[in-house]
Amino acid sequence: MVDRSELSVIIVNYRTPLLVGRCLRALAAEREAGLELDVVVVDGGSGDGSVEVIRSELDAMGAPDWIALMPLPLNGGFAWANNQALMQIMQREKPPRYVALINPDTEVAPGALRALADILDRNPKVAAVGSQLVDPDGTLSGSAFRFPSIAQEFVRGANTAAIGRLLGVPPTVIRRAEPGPADWVTGASVMLRVEALREVGLFDEGFF
């Protein structure tokens, strides 16, 4: 069972403070349901009053001690902003086992974070697990993918799935009903094993 010392959540904000508030309230509901976690909200130098709005949101939530706000002086991009929080989290006296990165426009479904952590618990060689994204109308959004290939680029350029089926080229987007392997998952919602981050390093900040 994941407890507070084992799961941290990072949310990177850039000029979307009201979405951050909704995201935090969904995480608060998970805590109320028994999942212990802490959250670091990183503001990537928004310069639009986002920090003040987020502070107001936190005050409205009762200034919870499990949420920390990290205002950054500039917008260094997604990778750099996440790295600032990751370095702080990993330097704790007792760092978590897992870190979940979620976009501010996400609202965590009940039980979703626990489900991701359970997959990492059961599969010690898995370094990262992504969640299935669902659009507001209930349709599934692309969440897991295969590495690109020349054949896939040809099919994409042809703009018809029939050619891909004819040539036996698998689609870039992976769709499955049960958890399974993927070449890469979207950073909109992904849980990472901290020990794996220590082995391979943090995000390449050359990717803005």
3-state secondary structure of 35: coil
19-49 residue pLDDT tens: 999 999 999 999 999 999 999 999 999 999 9
Measured distance CA(25)–CA(107) in Å, rounded: 8
Q: What is the pLDDT of residue 5?
A: 62
Residue 148 has pLDDT above 70, yes or no: yes
Angle at which helices 17-32 and 50-60 pack, to 10 degrees?
30
**pTM (2 decimals)?**
0.89
Task: Please indicate whether residue 173 or residue 69 has the higher confidence score (pLDDT).
Answer: 69
CB atoms within 10 A of CB 171: 15
